[in-house]
Structure 1
C-alpha cells in the first residue's frame, strides 16, 4: 500500500504540484521515498542565497522533519541523491552532510546540474529510507 504525505512540520510543496513523501508498506517494513528538497521557506523564498552551507543545512533539516513525521531518522536513510549546480562546492555541502550521518553512510549519488527549479538554489537532495 502506498500513501502520499506533506507533513505540516515543513513548508508545503509549491502549488500542490507533488508530495514530499511516498510511504510504501512492504509487509512489516516501510519504505519512505522523499521528493527532492531545496532551500525554500514557507513563503516560497530561497534560504541562504549563494550560501551552500546555509542551503544544505536547511535542506537536511527539512529532510529530518519529513522523516520524523513518519517515525524515521537520518539513520534509516539507505540512499541519498544530491544535485549540485557547482561540483566545486561539494566540500561546503559535505560540511553540512557528514556530521548528520554518523553511522555507516548510505549509498549516494551526487551529480552536477546546470540549474534547479528554484532560481538561486545551489542543491537539491532526495532520500530513500527503510523503517
Structure 2
C-alpha cells in the first residue's frame, strides 16, 4: 500500500497551505481510495457555493483518474440545516447514480465566515487496466 498526499496542479488550489487536498491510498492491484479534504467555494447563495464545491471536487477527483460517480462517502457541513433542500437539489445535479453513504451536520461556522457549506468525500478508484 502506498499513500500520497497533495494538491493537484490541475485543480483549484487550497485556501490554506496547511493541508493537502487529497490523500490517495493505492493498493497493490492499482485500485485506490481517495480521501478529499473538505471544500468550500465562493458565491452569494448556498446553491452557488454548493455548485462551486462540486465543481472543485470533480476537478480534484479527475486529477486522480476518478469522477463524482466514484464517490462512496460524502460528509456535508451546513451552517443552516433548514436549507438542506437547497443543497440537496444541487447535489442531485452532480451525484446522479446510486447515492453514496452520507452524513450531514449543522455547524455554527466554517473556516471562512462567508462559507455556508463544506463538503468532503471518499472515492474508490478501480484498478488500472493491464498494459
Map of 1:48 onto structure 2: 43
Q: Deviations over 1:74-118 (max 9, x none)?
A: 111000000000001111101110121121110000010000011
Q: TM-score scaled by structure 1?
A: 0.90
Where do residues 59-98 of structure 1 align in structure 2 (5 Å cutoff)? Answer: 59-98=53-92
- The corresponding residue for 1:58 is 52
- CA deviations 1:23-82 (Å, max 9, x no partner) are 00122220000000001xxxxxxx113x00000000000000000000000111000000
2:36 to 31, 34, 37: 34
Structure 1 residue 10, shift from structure 2 partner: 2.8
The alignment of Structure 1 onto Structure 2 pairs a total of residues equal to: 123
The structure 1 segments of at least 4 consecutive aligned residues displaced by more than 6 Å after TM superposition are: none
Instruction: Give the Cα–Cα distance (whole angstroms) in 2 for the partners of residues 13 and 30 of structure 1.
Output: 22
Report the equivalent of 1:102: 96
Q: Secondary structure at the match of 2:110?
A: coil
CA distance in 2, matches of 1:48, 1:99: 18
Per the alignment, residue 16 of structure 1 pairs with 17
TM-score normalized by the length of structure 2: 0.90
Matches within 5 A, 1:112-123: 112-123=106-117
Larger Rg: 2
**Gap regions ≥5 residues in structure 1:** 40-46
